[in-house]
Structure 1
Amino acid sequence: MTLPALFDNLRIPLIGSPLFIISNPDLVIAQCKAGIVGSFPALNAREAEGEPIELDRWLTRIKEELDRHNQANPDNPAAPYAVNQIVHKSNARLERDVEICVKHEVPLWITSLGAQEWLNDAAHGAGGVVLHDIINNRFAHKAIEKGADGLIAVAAGAGGHAGALSPLALIQEIREWFNGPLFLSGAIAKGDSILAAQAMGADGGYAGSAFIATQEANADARYKQMIADSGASDIVYSDLFTGVWGNYLKASIEAQGMDPNNLERSDPSNMNFGADREKPKSWKEIWGAGQGIGAVKDVRPAADVVERMATEYAAARKRLFDQTA
């Protein structure tokens, strides 16, 4: 397995996953400077009618700041950044956002909720690498058949939209036929977990929840503290809030007067990523998180989170070497 040269400058083999609403240029830049891939959903960049296109402004700022960092630190260059495209029929901005990403020659594209050949062709035409997130082996086959370069296996325990399969089973099945880039999502919040992902056959980890509780993240202070105060048993798996199964903080559901143990079922047709989506206002404060949040003890800068995980990763490698030597 050989990763594209794009990943050569990573301090640890980790992608900071795109967090809806939460990921912004501040967080992405901090992650990249610290040595991991920083990413954001294109839909996070929003502007009012008649205003300059925010996605264009975000990409310009990220590129310029990372270029300045690289010029000042030639021996410690930043990791690449990524943009997440929601490939769903309700995303009316998709074609426009793809054009903007092509213009900026975005190095890494993360696609979700649908694999499309035309989008992969557009990314490749701009020199980009495409990773598609999947929750099972069938979707993995479809993504590669339609031109994705690699996969993000979203296993049980991942924050936000998450699959139900064990990471052991999901990585095992994919590696039976696919030898390209493969990253694992699902309770990745410590350096030990990144090494475990590699031991299973993945090239690295994909972590989001640990970066919600950072100073740079665009999240409510209560949300960040709830992450720091919670553990795996405080996570609820439900499809009610978006139409897709995902993991959410139990305390945030209870705060809206709902019983997290008796939630209604939803319908996938209710998924809507358009500007006209309508949901109860109270649902805006039902917050996603993965099962790995027990590793998060407080709110701190993103660079500190990467430093902690890098230290854990090195210690885990040494411990495993000593145990197996």
Structure 2
Amino acid sequence: MYLVLTQNYATYAESELSGPQLEKQKRDEVFLKDNIPTWFAASGYVGLAAISTAAIPLIFPPLKWYLVLCSYVIAPAFAFCNSYGCGLTDWSLASTYGKIGLFIISSLVGSDGGVLAGLAACGVMMSIVSTAADIMQDFKTGYLTLSSAKSMFVSQVVGTAMGCIIAPLTFWMYWTAFKVGAAESPYKAPFAVIFREMAILAVEGFSALPRHCLSLCYGFFAAACVLNLLRDLIPSKVSRFIPIPMAMAVPFYIGAYFAIDMVVGTVILFVWQQMNKKDAEDFAGAVASGLICGDGIWTIPSAILSILRIDPPICMYFIPSGQST
């Protein structure tokens, strides 16, 4: 009798739920069924930190063991921020957080190996932060496709382990076959030069930066904190009109075309929701993915500007102080 009443109540509860609510309940149930224990994740991170703390100083002597340990201590905070920003904008800024580690470590080590130590610390930080964003995207894919979170995690571990073997071998093949980094080589590695210059800048100090550069950084950082506090403290009916600082920062980093894509896409989605809300909810994700992957929005105005031979109205060029063009 109790079993019959329980089954009847479950059937009634499901009937009371609408389609989207029932689908969300099913996704939550499947996703949380095979959760990963916290102790397992923490012990795995501690184990990897111990291995890196012992091994990396042997490969890069200027990067001392305590600096590697400090990188692993502060990396989870950066990983969380990058995962959050990647969820908002679908853009991983792991290299930006790696540059933070580069500047910190290079300035701490100084002129005695600071460049090499900063570059190595940047690589450590980027590998941690980017992996966190990648696995969060995998978890989101697993949630949408009703896949087990544990299976997604195991796949990530297997892929990472394969990369630890395949990536160095691939790099060594290119290193022996081509002049990587040389000006006449097809593999010039321009970012290597950029990161090295940033490490040198960190060793020399902030005096080499352009005038008012730090003041602008302080101002934008304070403005981002204020905007986030306002979004959290004021009512939602007003806070939804306040822009998200993380989403605003991405176009400044990668260029205005990203902001144009998002604005045009938002307008299209708004009009679509007004015309047919059901179809917009069902197909908006697929349409947005296609436009982003194919770069279909910015390509059209970019092609038009190229055909009309319209040049940018502003061109910036930075040279050392005291030097004229």
Higher normalized contact order (CA 8 Å, seq sep 6+, divided by chain length): 1
Larger radius of gyration: 2
Q: Which structure carries more strand by proportion?
A: 1
TM-score w.r.t. length of structure 2: 0.23
